Amino acid sequence: MAQLTELKKRFAEQFGGDASGLSAFQAPGRVNLIGEHTDYNGGAVFPAALTFGTTLLIAPRDDRKLGFASTNFPGTSEIPLDEIAFREEDDWANYPKGIVWELKQRGIELSRGYNFLYHGEIPNGSGLSSSASIEVVTAYALLTLEGKPTDTVQIALWSQHAENEFIGVKCGIMDQFAVANGRKDHAIHLDCDTLKYELVPFRSGDYKLVIGNTNKRRGLVDSKYNERRAQCEQAVRDLRAAFPELTLLGQLTLQQFEDNAHLIADETVRRRARHVVEEIDRVGRSIEVLNKDDLAAFGQLMNASHDSLRDLYEVTGAELDAMVDAARTVPGVLGSRMTGAGFGGCTVSLVHKDSVERFISEVGDKYEAATDLKPAFYVCDIGDGVGELKGEA
Ligand code: ADP
Ligand code: MG
C-alpha cells in the first residue's frame, strides 16, 4: 500500500525518527441511501460505509502527552493527558480529544501518551461523515492499544456522545453507527430507537452508486438542523393528546399519524412530521423491494425521499435540487436524492454503469450552469466498517 508508506514517512517527519510500535487503523465515510432526518426521531435509516475514509497511524509515547497531526490540516498540537478540555484553538484536534474525554467518562484512562497522524479522504463538511470517521477510528485504535474490548456498537454510541457533549453537535446515531458497523456490499437497516440492525445485501448489479458533491459551503446548517429537531419535538407534544406516552415520531405508524395529524396545530410542524413518518415508511419499503432485487422500485423511493425533503421538510436548497433535477434527466438513472443533513453537501444517485461517464459530464455541466459552482463526483462501492490495518503498518 503505497499510501501507507508515504504516511509512515510523514509520521516520522512529524514526530521524530523512531516509528517503532506504529499501528494503522482505518474507518470509512458513509452515505445514507434513504431515511433522512429520521435518526433523531427514533426512526429507521439505511446507510452504507464507503471504501474511502480516514486512516490513522498511531504510536505510544514515553510521556503522558497526546501529539496530533493530520495531512488535511497544517500544524500539530501537543496536549497533556490530564488537560483534556474543549479548546477553540485546538480546532480539529477537539474531535480525537473528545474521544479521549469520552473514554475517561467510561472509566478508561489511557495508560500512556500517543502520537496520532490522520489522513482523510472524505471531503470535510459534505455530509459523508468525516467527523464520525475520525471519532470512530480514534476510539477503535485507543481501545485496541489499551487492550480493551472493541465493541463496535458501543464505539458508535460513545463517539456520538463525544460529538454531542464535547464538540457540541447534536447529531443522531446514524453516522457513527454506519462507520463503525458497515460491511462490504451491505447497507445497514438500523432502527435508531432500539439500535436493532440488520445488514442487507446491496446487490446493485449493473448499477453504481454515484455521489455528487455540490461543494456548496454550509451556512445555516446548524441552526436549521436545530430548528427541525425542535419542530419534531413540537409535533410529539401535540400528538400526546392521542398518545400520552409518545416520545419520538418514529414510534408512530403511518396510519396512526394519518388518523391524528390534525392534532398538530401548526401547519409547518405538521409537514415536518409528515416527512418523518412517511420517510420511515419508505425505508421499510426499500428493504422489501431490495430483497426482491427490484432496483427500479428502490430508485423511485429515492426520488420520493428527495421530493419530500424538498417540499415537506424543506432542507434541500437550490444546489441540491439543481443537481438532483439534472441527474434525473440522464438515461440509465433509477433514482437520485440528497443525502446527509441537507442545505448543501451531497446527492446520491443510482446510475447504470454504462451511463456513469455521461452522468458525470452532463450533470456536472448542468449543475455548474445553474449554480456557478464546480461539483465533484465519486463512483462508490460499499466498504467495511472500522478496523485495524494488520500487517500493513
Ligand atoms: P462531516 O462530518 O459532514 O464531514 P463535520 O463538520 O461534522 O462534517 O466534520 C468535519 C470536521 O471533522 C473537520 O472540519 C475537522 O475538524 C474534522 N475532521 C474530519 N476528518 C479529519 C481529518 N482527516 N483530519 C483532521 N480533522 C478531521
Ligand atoms: Mg459530521
Give the other-Cβ count within 10 Å of 198's Cβ: 11
| CA end-to-end span of the chain | 9
Q: Is 163 annotated as a binding residue?
A: yes
On the question of pLDDT at 391 being above 80, the answer is no
Query: Measuring CA to CA, which residue among 386, 312, 328 is closest to residue 362?
Result: 328
Ligand 1 within 6 A of CB of 126: yes
- Please report the pLDDT score of residue 392 as a whole number: 60
Q: Which residue has 462508490 as its cell numbers? A: 380
Sign of CA dihedral 30, 31, 34, 37: positive
Least confident of 10-19, 23-32, 358-367: 10-19
Residue whose Cα lies nearest atom 11 of ligand 1: it is 131
For residues 137 and 28, what is the distance between their CA atoms, to the nearest angstrom? 9
To the nearest whole percent, how much of the chain has pLDDT over 90? 90
pLDDT confidence tier of residue 19, bands split at 50, 70 and 90: low
For residues 393 and 389, what is the distance between their CA atoms, to the nearest angstrom? 7
- 307-327 pLDDT, tens digit per residue, is 999 999 999 999 999 999 999
- Please report the pLDDT score of residue 37 as a whole number: 96
For residues 92 and 113, what is the distance between their CA atoms, to the nearest angstrom? 19
Q: Is 33 annotated as a binding residue?
A: no
* Mean of pLDDT values over 218-231: 83
- Please report the pLDDT score of residue 342 as a whole number: 93
Ligand 1 within 6 A of CB of 371: no
Distance 124 CA to ligand 2 centre (A): 8
- Please report the pLDDT score of residue 75 as a whole number: 86
Ligand 1 within 6 A of CB of 130: yes
- Please report the pLDDT score of residue 176 as a whole number: 98
Active site residues per annotation: 175
Hey, what's the cell of 123? 471531503
- Please report the pLDDT score of residue 16 as a whole number: 84
On the question of pLDDT at 375 being above 60, the answer is yes
Sign of CA dihedral 358, 294, 342, 316: positive
Higher-confidence position of 209 and 220 = 209
On the question of pLDDT at 217 being above 70, the answer is yes
- Please report the pLDDT score of residue 170 as a whole number: 84
Ligand sitting nearest the alpha carbon of 92:
1
Give the other-Cβ count within 10 Å of 328's Cβ: 17
For residues 325 and 334, what is the distance between their CA atoms, to the nearest angstrom? 13
For residues 285 and 291, what is the distance between their CA atoms, to the nearest angstrom? 10
Q: Provide the β-strand partners of residue 115.
A: 59, 67
Nearest ligand 1 atom to alpha carbon 340: 3
* Mean of pLDDT values over 140-146: 98
- Please report the pLDDT score of residue 18 as a whole number: 63
On the question of pLDDT at 378 being above 70, the answer is yes
On the question of pLDDT at 1 being above 60, the answer is no
Q: What is the pTM of this model?
A: 0.94
pLDDT confidence tier of residue 3, bands split at 50, 70 and 90: confident
Give the other-Cβ count within 10 Å of 185's Cβ: 14
